[in-house]
């Protein structure tokens, strides 16, 4: 217990220290935190991320900001920097230092002032054709190098876009030139995006969004650019690092999943218990329209897969009445996957929500206007990201817009309907509480498991599951979409997916396994299941189908691999419960063996299984 409290306290202290750096990210504060990076990483339980940086700008001075900003987002960045302006040779080298580094993510930090200076200095009419030819050559070289690298490595690549020129040599006339600076900038931007469209593992970072936030005059430092090929002002190292980290985060599975909001002075102005439903501030005029804008941002997040919940200290029924009946509300009761309207401490309510949703508290973001409630949450549940709103309601929407923890590079159908899936799960739990025994409950669900093998349509969701599933994930191997595709195309490997339907609807893709055939053995290298549907025996039936499929393919033994982590330890006994015998351990991975000659595993009669067309 003492050790747990110590760990809890160390987490709280580390988060406080990182928050102080975020409040004043001076070079001195960044370097001080950077020297403590190992200590801070251990305290916050940061996930290791190997980042290879291929720059055509000086990058070394930015590393402390990048590492500390990474810690702030829950990742321990280990960086390797390629030689300056050697992007194409580095990507093309089959056995070079980049390959030896074994990166999780590759960043191309581009600066084209040396290669295409006319983009920023102006394009004389008599040189326009040559400049545009040079741009074509530069794009073709970049695409060829990236195609070569990605054909050999299933690693996501972040391709930093190019800032628009601030100096236009021809002034307003340039807007009418088909061969001017504006046209060249468009050509380069569209060319980079065309490369990303052609190569699925490449993602373009819109640097102009960073410029729009801070302004080119503040963000860039012309003196340092001329002196040392470092175009960023030191005052904005932190902001640039945040821009990069924001794009790394979804690639390594550190996106958050849940927003829990307060009601009074958060969703609306005033206190419904004192002012009554007719007295709260929500509507077309200020400040009511500011609260509506905040609700619209929440609804937009829900539409892209973020789960909305509400925790309010009020008499039960008071908040629900506003959600159901107030004509100016944007959000309604059905938009929330969990409601806690009571007088209990909010940390207790969040713990209950985490249990109901079957999600870890580290996937929660808590938003409240009360300094007291926010401090209590930070102290009680430091793993929850806590955000205190200001007293100015017009600033609330911008708080949501600035959040970088919900970003994804792709949205699956399950993402679009995730909130509805969790609401349906609440209805299942209600049914379970009303059912006399578990078998009757299982039968009443009318469960149907649909199995897919190497299904290309499941690539996006499968990659997301490897990155976002932490609890029932037997090996926690993270995969990009490119890596999932590569596995599907590898001989003697099957990527098996499971979609669950029941009387309440489609639960979406909930299970994933990667099975490799090695002689008479079928080895389960990855096995994971959404915690949202655990407790209905579907994970056992999924494994039973895999065993039968392996036996039909000629395997005599099924091998299960388990690599323990802090989050998946509760499921460490799964293979033992399923009748596997311990085999051997290597590299912190335990192996479990099941003989298929003895009949495999039974499938519960209350679950029907069908295999997608083609199997």
> Three-state secondary structure along 429-475?
HHHHHHCCCHHHHHHHHCEEEEEEECCHHHHHHHHHHHHHCCCCECC
CA distance 500 to 396: 38
CA distance 112 to 144: 17
Is the pLDDT at 548 greater than 60? The verdict is yes
Beta-bridged to residue 496, according to DSSP, are: 453, 513
Q: What confidence category does residue 2 fall into, taking pLDDT thresholds of 50, 70 and 90?
A: very low
| pLDDT confidence of residue 431 | 59
CA distance 215 to 233: 12
Is the pLDDT at 421 greater than 80? The verdict is no
- Give mean pLDDT, residues 212-235: 94
Q: Which residues contact residue 392 at a Cβ distance below 8 angstroms, ignoring those fewer than 6 apart?
A: none
* Minimum mean pLDDT range among 54-58, 388-392, 476-480, 584-588: 584-588
Q: Which residues contact residue 83 at a Cβ distance below 8 angstroms, ignoring those fewer than 6 apart?
A: 90
For the chain, what percent of residues have pLDDT higher than 90? Answer: 72
For 28-33, which contacts have Cβ atoms below 8 Å and span 24 or more sequence positions? 30/64, 30/65, 30/68, 30/237, 30/238, 31/64, 33/64, 33/68, 33/71
Q: For residues 360, 406, 470 and 334, what is the CA-based torsion angle, rounded to 10 degrees?
A: 50
* Minimum mean pLDDT range among 62-76, 148-162, 358-372, 414-428: 414-428
The encoded tokens of residue 24 equal: 């004043």
Q: What angle do CA 577, 583, 584 make, to 5 degrees?
A: 125
| pLDDT confidence of residue 586 | 67
CB atoms within 10 A of CB 395: 12
- What's the mean per-residue pLDDT of the chain? 90
- On whether the pTM is more than 0.85, the answer is no
CA distance 386 to 259: 10
Is residue 582 within 8 Å of residue 560, measured between CB atoms? no
Four-residue CA torsion sign, 239, 241, 247, 249: negative
What the chain holds in terms of domains, given with CATH numbers, is 2-252 (3.40.50.1110), 258-402 (3.40.50.1000), 433-611 (3.40.630.30)
The encoded tokens of residue 214 equal: 């801070």
Q: How many CA atoms lie within 13 A of 559 on its CB side?
A: 18
Q: How many CA atoms lie within 13 A of 185 on its CB side?
A: 20
| pLDDT confidence of residue 1 | 39
Q: What angle do CA 78, 80, 86 make, to 5 degrees?
A: 160
Q: Which residues contact residue 424 at a Cβ distance below 8 angstroms, ignoring those fewer than 6 apart?
A: 504, 505, 507
């Amino acid at each position: 217990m003492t050790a747990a409290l110590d760990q809890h306290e160390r987490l709280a202290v580390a988060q406080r220290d990182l928050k102080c750096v975020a409040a004043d990210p001076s070079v001195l504060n960044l370097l001080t935190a950077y020297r403590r990076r190992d200590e801070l990483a251990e305290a916050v339980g940061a996930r290791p991320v190997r980042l290879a940086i291929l720059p055509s700008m000086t990058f070394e001075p930015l590393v402390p900001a990048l590492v500390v900003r990474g810690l702030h987002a829950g990742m321990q960045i280990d960086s390797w920097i390629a030689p300056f302006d050697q992007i194409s040779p580095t990507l093309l080298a089959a056995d070079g230092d980049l390959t030896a580094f074994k990166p999780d993510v590759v960043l191309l930090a581009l600066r084209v002032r040396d290669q295409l200076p006319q983009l920023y200095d102006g394009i004389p009419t008599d040189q326009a054709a040559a400049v545009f030819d040079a741009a074509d050559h530069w794009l073709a070289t970049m695409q060829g190098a990236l195609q070569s690298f990605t054909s050999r490595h299933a690693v996501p690549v972040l391709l930093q876009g190019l800032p628009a020129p601030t100096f236009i040599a021809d002034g307003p006339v340039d807007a009418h030139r088909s061969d001017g600076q504006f046209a060249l900038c468009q050509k380069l931007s569209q060319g980079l995006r065309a490369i990303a469209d052609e190569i699925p593992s490449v993602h373009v970072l819109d640097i102009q969004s960073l410029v729009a936030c801070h302004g080119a005059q503040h963000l860039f430092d012309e003196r340092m650019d001329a002196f040392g090929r470092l175009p960023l002002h030191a005052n904005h190292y932190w902001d640039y690092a945040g821009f990069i980290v924001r794009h790394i985060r979804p690639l390594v599975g550190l996106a958050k999943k849940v927003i829990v909001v307060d009601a009074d002075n958060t969703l609306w102005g005033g206190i419904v218990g004192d002012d009554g439903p007719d007295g709260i501030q929500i509507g077309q005029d200020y400040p009511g329209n500011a609260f509506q804008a905040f609700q619209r941002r929440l609804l937009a997040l829900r539409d892209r897969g973020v789960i909305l919940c509400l925790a309010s200290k009020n008499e039960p029924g008071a908040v629900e009445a506003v959600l159901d009946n107030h004509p100016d509300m944007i959000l309604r009761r059905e938009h929330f996957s969990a409601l806690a309207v009571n007088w209990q401490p909010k940390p207790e309510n969040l713990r209950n929500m985490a249990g109901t949703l079957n999600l870890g508290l580290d996937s929660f973001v808590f938003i409240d206007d009360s300094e007291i409630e926010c401090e209590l949450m930070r102290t009680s549940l430091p793993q929850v990201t806590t955000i205190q709103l200001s007293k100015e309601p017009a600033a609330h929407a911008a708080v949501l817009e600035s959040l970088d923890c919900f970003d994804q590079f792709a949205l699956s159908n399950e993402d679009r309907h995730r909130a509805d899936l969790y609401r349906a799960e609440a209805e299942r739990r209600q049914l379970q509480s009303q059912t006399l025994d578990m078998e009757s409950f299982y039968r009443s669900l009318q469960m149907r498991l649909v199995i897919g093998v190497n299904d290309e349509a499941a690539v996006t969701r499968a990659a997301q599951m490897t990155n976002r599933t932490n609890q029932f994930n037997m090996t926690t191997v993270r995969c990009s979409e490119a890596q999932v595709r590569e596995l599907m195309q590898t001989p003697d490997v099957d990527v098996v997916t499971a979609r669950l339907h029941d009387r309440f609807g489609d639960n979406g893709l909930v299970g994933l396994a990667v099975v490799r055939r090695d002689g008479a053995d079928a080895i389960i290298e990855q096995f994971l299941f959404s915690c949202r549907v655990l407790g209905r025996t579907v994970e056992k039936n999924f494994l039973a189908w895999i065993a039968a499929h392996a036996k039909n393919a000629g395997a005599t033994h099924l091998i299960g691999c388990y690599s323990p982590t802090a989050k998946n330890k509760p499921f460490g006994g799964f293979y033992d419960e399923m009748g596997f015998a311990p085999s051997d351990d290597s590299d912190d991975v335990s192996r479990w063996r099941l003989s298929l000659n003895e009949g495999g595993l039974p499938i519960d009669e209350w679950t029907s299984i069908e295999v997608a067309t083609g199997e």
